A and B are shown apart, each in its own frame.
Chain A
Amino acid sequence: MANAPTKASRPPPRAPLPGPIEWLRENLFSSWGNAALTVVALLILYWVVVPFVRWAFIDAAWTGTGRDDCLAFENGACWPFVSERIGQIIYGFYDVTERWRVDLTLIGLALGLLWLTMPGMPGKRPVGAVMVLAYPLIAFVLLAGGFGLEEVPTTRWGGLLMTLVVAFTGIVASLPLGILLALGRRSELPVVKGLSVAFIELWRGVPLVTVLFMAANMLPLFVGLSVNKLLAALIAVALFSSAYMAEVIRGGLQAIPKGQYEAAAAMGLSYWRSMAFVILPQALRLSLPNIVGNFIGLLKDTSLISIIGFFDLLGIVQAGATDPEWATPNTALTGYAFVGAVFWAMCFGMSRYATHLEGVLGAGGRR
């Protein structure tokens, strides 16, 4: 044993360098390859981020009332363009004296959502029912008028309001419709199954732009009656997104082992009860990341309604940027930067909430 060959001993461990330098060496410069990647990444950051920060903040015009104030800052953003138009960006052409109605609608939405999303709030079921069933009607009356409120035609809606109206309608309508379609597609009744498949594949097979265009411009020509364009667009968006939602939920349904169906049947549960209490809660939990992904996609797709003459958040900024009173080399760029930031904030918020929800439901941990 004593003369057994010994392995060449490893070199002694390198003494750690002081503090952050050790961290840098371990994480950023651990090998020549990594070091090169680090340098490239830093250079890209330097070339992209530094000029952007300079343009957006350091060299930017922050106050002013017209293009002359922005022309003085030729290499920076023109923020007064956004601040002077912030009312229009939020409300579109909504009459200034009636804007409180939009505020009330949005505050109602925010309160309802907060109530439903904050952990530990009492009475989530009734509040949820109110938000899904009554709120859309109340919001419609508030926004469009009627019952003593002055009419504000949908041609005057726009901006963030329009984006939220379209996205909210799509989101609220697509989940229940999507669940029904997904169940229909897995149904053993041939007619139900056939209709569901046909519906889903039809709507998934055409681009949203085409759907919107057909709904707003062609339907009145074919059917011969003039429908409200916004209503047509909202219905189109709801049907379109429900087809996508159906497939997302079907993915969740397929992940449920057969034993769960059999167990539910063995308990003597009817089809609808077994779906409602056994299958769907699990399937929806599994589909959550994709459902939220769909919602985020839908929120961003709302910009497409500009092709039928409605201005969403992006559309109203684009239109505003053509105003000769504000024409500068940086006006349009500033508008786009602002719209990008708002969209990002909304989508990131949804995504963070979904992550939180996954944690609460333990969807990630269970599988």
Chain B
Amino acid sequence: MRSTIMRFAALAVAGMLALAPAFAAPSPTLAKVKKNGFLRCGVNEGLPGFSVPDTKGEWAGMDVDFCRAIAAAIFNDPKKVRFFPTSAKVRFTALQAGDFDVLSRNTTWTISRDVQIGLEFIGVMYFDGQGFMVPKSAKVTSARQLDGASVCTNTGTTTELNLADYFRANKMKYKVIAFERNNEVISAYDKGRCDAYTTDASGLYAERLKLTKPDDHIVLPEIISKEPLGPAVNQGDQPWGDLVRWTFFAMLNAEELGVTSKNVDQMLKSPNPEVRRLLGVEGAFGESLGLTKDWAVRIVRHVGNYGEVFERNVGQGSPLKIKRGMNALHTKGGLQYAPPVR
């Protein structure tokens, strides 16, 4: 008798476990976001291509668009986001204090931030790294040719340390000319006080626009440090982390499968099973995230796939004109790779 009851109980538990994936524990953050009626998103106070106020008084940029994508997935309305411009110093405190639901602020993913600070990084939105800019007239095509060069950079940043490492490792001599503020560095370089300018590559493209003759300068191909930038959420709400992560993966998968904001409605009729699963024609993956079946359709329709977001904000559709490089899909020689929706 007793063993029968035990067996029934075991069966019940097993049944619940089997059903669990379909009825994943609801995310408290998602519940709060839905109750508020908007997503709260921490962004940079002004970083070209990633988050800047545009002329119309709206936030624009890659980091900003990612938050719009999450809002689109949840509310089918990319406008339901409130942006909280946040300085580098307070970003982690503010996230932990619950000032916002997602930190989408070009944050470098490192072990200490992931483990000690207790963030949950959801992926690498942008593979950045330190590079060099030189005048075209110098006829330099590789950083290896910079032996004996004077290099302009910011004081007291890791940039300076990376520079020292790189030149020592390659047994080259160099001279640092360092300044406190970005504007001072770029203006010194513009006036020819140094042979090269170094900072993170995305920054190089942005600062180049401030030169008197931007087209007379090139960014060298070498990248000498790893700066994987990505959004983060608080640890402790796994389903919320999943939702944010799969929003990003949906954007990558959409690009890989050729689904764009323009053709997403036609793609709903696509016979390709991968497209059908991504767009919710088959399967119930949206529901398992606490969203609707058409979550990915909403993301792509309102915000676009990863490639569209990249090109619009930092790529060829923007003044920055950054090449995809490491941020190209794995199928095109880059590092961006998303697990499949299935």
Contacts and interface: CB of A to CB of B under 8 A. Distances in A.
Interface string A136-164: 00000000000000000101100000000
Interface stretch (B12-20, B47-55, B261-269, B276-284): B47-55
Nearest to A84: B55
B96 to A, nearest CB: 8
Given A96-B57, A319-B53, A324 B48 contact: yes
B319 A324 contact: yes
A92 B87 contact: no
A335 B12 CA distance: 68
Interface stretch (A7-15, A112-120, A245-253, A325-333): A325-333
A284 interface: no
A316 interface: yes
B98 to A, nearest CB: 6
A17 to B, nearest CB: 47
A327 B190 contact: no
A220 B99 contact: yes
Given A93-B57, A153-B82, A324-B209, A319 B187 contact: no
A320 B209 contact: no
Contacts of B190: 329
Interface residues of B, number: 38
A311 interface: yes
B48 A323 contact: yes
B210 A85 contact: no
A217 B57 contact: no
B232 to A, nearest CB: 17
B52 A319 contact: yes
Interface string A46-73: 0000000000000000000001000100
A329 B210 contact: yes
B53 A88 contact: yes
Nearest to B57: A88
Interface in B21-51: 45-49
Contacts of B212: 71, 74, 329
Given A92-B57, A319-B85, A324 B206 contact: yes
A313 interface: no
B83 interface: yes
Given A220-B98, A332-B183, A323 B210 contact: no
A325 B209 CA distance: 9
A287 to B, nearest CB: 37
B285 to A, nearest CB: 32
Interface string A306-326: 111101000110111111111
B115 interface: no
A6 interface: no
A149 to B, nearest CB: 17
A321 B93 contact: no
B116 to A, nearest CB: 18
Nearest to A311: B85
Interface in A204-241: 213, 217-218, 220-221, 226, 229
Nearest to A153: B82
B46 A221 contact: no
A67 B52 contact: no
A329 B211 contact: yes
A91 interface: yes
B55 A88 contact: yes
Contacts of A332: 183
Contacts of B57: 87-88, 91-94, 96
B270 to A, nearest CB: 35
B318 interface: yes
6 contacts: A220-B97, A220-B98, A311-B45, A319-B45, A324-B48, A325-B55
Interface of B: 45-49, 52-60, 82-87, 90, 93-94, 96-99, 183, 187, 190, 206, 209-212, 318-320
Which 8 pairs, one residue from A and one from B, show the smallest C-beta to C-beta distance? A327-B209, A322-B46, A319-B46, A324-B48, A88-B57, A324-B319, A323-B52, A155-B82
Given A229-B99, A322-B48, 16 more contacts: A85-B55, A88-B56, A91-B57, A93-B58, A93-B59, A155-B83, A217-B90, A218-B93, A226-B97, A307-B90, A309-B84, A318-B45, A318-B46, A327-B206, A327-B209, A329-B187
